Each structure stands twice: as C-alpha cells, then as structure tokens.
Chains A and B, each alone.
Chain A
Amino acid sequence: MSISATTSSARPSRVQGRSRFFLIAVALAYVGLLLLAPIAGIVWTVIDGGSGVVRRSLAAPDVRHAFLLTGVITVMAVIVTAVFGVAVAMVLTRDRFPGRRLMSAIVDLPLAVSPVIVGLMAVLLFGRGGWFEPFFTARGIQIIFALPSMVLVTVFICIPFVVREVVPVLEEVGIEEVEAARTLGASPTQTFFRITLPTIRWGLLYGVALTAARSLGEIGAVLIVSGTIQGHTETATLYIFRALEERQEASGYFVALVLAAGSIVLLTAIELFKRKRVRERSR
C-alpha cells in the first residue's frame, strides 16, 4: 500500500514518502479500529451464538415489534421530510419574502440541537401540562408515549437532510426550465412532476437515504418521548438498549446487526446518489 502510494506520486522526497506512509497508517487504523472492529465484533458475536440466536430473536414478539415500529417510523419520517423538504426547498430558492434567510437558518437547527433536547421539547409541548396537551387529550388522541410523538421528533431531527440536498440543485438549475414548461402549456402540477422532480431526483434520493439512515439509528429523542413500553413503543434501538441492560446480549447483537446491515445498504445508496447528483449538477 505504502509502496504504491509513494511510487505513483511524482518523485516524492524521502520525508514525504515516510510521512505519507504514516498518514495512511493512521487513517487505516482510525477507520479500522473505530468503524470496522465494532461491526466485526457484532457479526462475530451473532455467529458465535449460532443460528439459534437468529431463530429465537426473530420469534420473540418484542423483537419483531421493535423492527416493525422502527420501520413504520422510518417510512413516515421519510415521507414527511421528503414532501415538506421539497416544498421548503422550492420556497427557499424560488420566492423572496421577509424572513427567508431566517427560515433558511432555522432549517439547520436540528443539526445543532441534541436529540435529547428535541425529545424534551416535544414533552414540554405535548406532555402533561404542555401547550397542546389539552387540545389532543380532549379529542382522545395520545401524542406522548405513543407513535405520533416518536414520528414527530424523528421528523424534526431529519428536516435538514432533504432541504439541504435539494436547495443547491434547485439553485444550480435556476427557474428557466420551469418557465419554459409553463409557456409550453404545462400546469403547475405537470411542471412539478415532469420538470422539477426529475431535475432534483438524485439530490432528493440522497436526502431521503440520509433521513432513513438517521431514522433507523435514532435513539435519544425517541427514548425521551416514547416511554419505552415493551412491545408498544419500543423501537429497535430502544430494544438493544434494554436487551443489554437485561443481559440478553445475543438478541441485542442480532438486532444491532440487522440495523447495521440496513445502514450499510443505505450508505451504498447514498454514495451512488451522491455521484449521480454531482454528475447531474455538472451538466
């Protein structure tokens, strides 16, 4: 590795060659120890436990429910952030109104706020004595300790992903293609589905993949608002958390492995979309 690195560059000096080798070694160790070793550890533990672990885990109702719940939350978060993210991105790039810059800044807020705080904010709004609590309680709708609040906090955390990926694409392509479509007789709806959506598709998919990955792994905010009711509001990540506490490591590792596998699939998709998006923008 070090040899090819030094010979491929145009006549590096000895010092450069050595420092390069050092850098590569550090980078490999960093990635290897911090990222690959844990994954290998999880895989090893699951294999070590034998196929019985997989079977027993899959048969356990709380494991199945946890996967289902994580899936539901992820799908809903993806749908909501995709629809509203595209709408926000279009407004941010195409309209000029007072407060536009503020709105653009606020979109990034979830990146800076700890998920635990996001969960806390949801509890303050919808929990006992919260602003919106009387409204929903009067109608018999439970928000906190139920699916709605879990989806809500996940959506909140994932808001920036789609917006941040779609805005630059829309800025780059400008408004002229949309105007051309309008003069050619396309309705606003036709213009959106035939022109805008195909234009932003890779950026949008990239944002969606990021959202999905984040939703699968989210724990902090969900932990606060869900109440972690077994077989009811326990997501996959919350299950792992409990499994470790209750010394059920094997099935905890199995769930973790499935989540990790999902993340790797998404990571591959993200790489692919990112490349497509770059190529699209360079056109």
Chain B
Amino acid sequence: MTQGIVVQDLDKHFGSFQAVKQVSFQAEGGKITALLGPSGSGKSTVLRMIAGLERPDAGRIWVDGEEQTSKSPQERRLGFVFQHYALFRHMTVRQNVAFGLAVRKAPKSEQRARVGELLDLVGLGPFEDRYPDQLSGGQRQRVALARALAPRPKVLLLDEPFGALDARVRQELRRWLDDLHRELGVTSLLVTHDQEEALELAGEVVVMRQGGVEQIGSPEEIYNKPSTPFVAAFVGASNVLRGTIWEGHVHFGRSAVAGAHRFDDGLEAQAYVRPHDVRITRQAGDMSFEVTVERRTNLGWMSKLVLRLKDGQMLVAELPNEEIEGVRAGNRVFADLRNAKVFTVGGTELTSGEELTKV
C-alpha cells in the first residue's frame, strides 16, 4: 500500500480547452509536495480533481492506496484549504472549525475538545466567538486550516493558500505552516505559482505548464538541474542569452559561456543564467567578456545591474554591494557567467549536471 497521493494519467477538458493533460505524479506520505506553475497551468484543476470537486475525463487517483476516482468529495474526507478562505460567513470561528465534525455527527463533547485543541494549535483560541468578517486575512486562513484539519483528513490539499495575503503575512504564515507540518506530519499537496514558496516548503516539486507535468524533482533538482527551458526560466529569474554552440561553449558575438559539451557544434542554443550567477570584474579574466553597465539599482545590501553585451543582448546581474563598489552606469566591466543551463533551440535536451558545475 502506497502512502500519500498517487495520480495517474489525469485528463480534464473545459469545453474544447484541455486544462489537464496526462498528469501523473506521487505525493509522498507525510511530506509536503508542491504543484508549481503559472496561472492557467492546470495545477488547481488537478488539486480539485483530487478533492473530488472536479470530475476527471480520464485517469485515476489513489490516496493511501485507496482508489478515489469515482468517490464524491464527501466520501473522500480530504482537507481542502481555499485561496479565499471560503469560511462560512454566518458561523463563528468555533462553528466553522466544528463543521466537519458536526456533519459527521461526532458527539458534542468530542467536537468541543477537538475544536479547542485546533484553535490552540493555530493560536486563535481568544477569537472563537468572532465571525469571519471580524478577522484579518491571515487569521481567516488559519481558521480555514484548522477547519480542514479538524476531521483528521488523510491528506491536506492547499490551493494557493497564501495567494490573497500581503507579502509580510505570507512570509509569516509560510513559516508557521512549515512548523505545523513538522508537528502534524500530514501528507500535504500545495498548489502555488510562487516558486519561492514551493522551494521553501516542499520536499518535492511538480512543475506544471499548459496542463502537463514539466518536471518532477526535489527543490534542489528543480532549481539547479531544470530539465526544460521553461523550468529554468520559471524557477528563479533567469537571463536568456541566444547564441551558437562551438566547442562546448555558447558563443554570442565575441563572448562565450560554457555548459554545452553535450551538443554538436553549430547548433542554435539558449543559455539560462541566474542573476546571482553573474560575476563582475574590473580586469579581463580567462572566461570573462566585456559588458557595459546600463543601469544600477540599489536594493539595500545588493544591487541590480543591467548590462549590455557587445552584440546588444541584455543581462541582469544581482551582486552584493561590496563586490561592485564604484561600478556605475556607463562603466565598462567584465562579466563572468557561472552555472549556465544550455538548451538547444527547438530541442529540449539538456546538459548533464557535471558539465554545469565547472565554468
């Protein structure tokens, strides 16, 4: 019996639009798995199909080894947390949390005990008699989480749970959810478009694009070894430099970047380089090439530099201020690119990990 969630070959159409295409993955029991993708990538639809809120056109779903595909949401007993909280507006916090127990006719004493326990867990004990419209967004989402957890669901499904909150509350709740998960260890599937959120919370990340699975892997794999140009661009901001492969390097004008050993000479290629993988020096080095600083924006302890290459392509670099003292717009400096991920144009073949490590 496999613990956790298994989905196999899920398909879903809305009219003539195919929202989900052949999606298969496993969410390991007791861990947080993230479904990461831009809006419209089908990730929420997958989550809703697991919860039974949408019916898949094809494919199967198991939770803890038990097939769910044809069950109603009521029978599945999975916890679901909505982006906009979906609290029952005519009920108090206490009644909201108790709802899942009340509809299953749990004894009143048991309901009271469990609700008290959960309100303590989410730190909302003093608010138990308030109505949802008397709570802040962060508090509402914590009530929603307590409500979802109250009937002891086998898995917890979170649909952009922090999407409607402002940046600071989002950070705070993210850390809080992480702690909560460590304490409870309930299998969780988190839908998000925020790559930072996915990388921070999840043990495994499923990247989705246009209804299909693009890559599945640990946060490190997703970040350091993206298997497609889409993942390279979506997970962590990336510069894209176009050029031609020659002797294991991507050449653009008189500049070059390593990381293309696998490819034949003469192929058109794109090199993905993260802003923090750009190094700036005053003197020309072995592998560096000349660039012009177009703009410098100070972001506190670091700065963002917009650089122009000789062939006109632009490059964004983020560097600690101490490394680039005195560098200002109009200066000519030398750039050195590390950890470039190279993809041939039109192809999806990728360079292997070894070739990425040394530049």
A interface residues, Cβ below 8 angstroms from B: 173, 176-177, 179-187, 190, 194-195, 198-199, 283
Contact = CB atoms under 8 A, between A and B. Distances in A.
Interface residues of B, number: 28
Contact of B86 (A179, A185, A190): A179
A184 B51 contact: no
Give the most central of B72, B78, B88: most A CB within 10 Å: B88
Contact of A183 (B51, B87, B89, B90): B51
A179 B79 CA distance: 11
A233 to B, nearest CB: 43
A179 B82 contact: yes
29 contacts: A176-B82, A176-B84, A177-B86, A177-B88, A179-B80, A179-B82, A180-B82, A180-B87, A180-B144, A181-B88, A181-B99, A181-B103, A182-B53, A182-B73, A183-B51, A183-B73, A183-B76, A183-B80, A184-B99, A184-B103, A184-B147, A186-B74, A186-B99, A186-B103, A187-B103, A194-B99, A198-B90, A199-B90, A283-B89
B104 interface: yes
B151 interface: yes
Contacts of A195: 88
B86 A180 contact: yes
Interface string B124-168: 000000000100000000001001100100000100000000000
Nearest to A190: B103
A183 B53 CA distance: 8
Contacts of B82: 176, 179-180
B100 interface: yes
A191 to B, nearest CB: 9
Nearest to A179: B53
B77 interface: yes
Query: Across chains A and B, which 8 residue pairs bring their CB atoms closest together, nearest first?
Result: A184-B100, A176-B86, A183-B80, A180-B86, A182-B73, A186-B103, A198-B90, A283-B133
A197 to B, nearest CB: 10
B104 A180 contact: no
Given A173-B89, A180-B88, A283-B133, A185 B100 contact: yes
Contacts of B80: 179-180, 183
Contacts of B77: 185
A283 B80 CA distance: 23
Contacts of A283: 89, 133
A185 B89 contact: no
Given A184-B100, A185-B151, 17 more contacts: A173-B89, A176-B82, A176-B84, A177-B86, A179-B73, A180-B144, A180-B147, A181-B88, A182-B72, A183-B51, A183-B73, A183-B76, A183-B80, A183-B148, A185-B74, A185-B100, A283-B89
Contacts of B157: 183
A169 to B, nearest CB: 11
Contacts of A184: 99-100, 103, 147-148, 151
A181 B133 CA distance: 18
Contacts of B84: 176
Given A179-B53, A179-B80, A179-B82, A187 B74 contact: yes
A194 B79 contact: no
B79 A183 contact: yes
| A173, A180, A190, A283 — most chain B CB neighbours (10 Å) | A180
Contacts of B90: 198-199
B96 to A, nearest CB: 9
Nearest to B82: A176
B88 A185 contact: no
A149 B197 CA distance: 64
Contacts of B147: 180, 184
Nearest to B144: A180
Contacts of A199: 89-90
Interface string B37-74: 00000000000000111000000000000000000111
Contacts of B51: 183
Nearest to A201: B90
Contacts of A186: 74, 99, 103
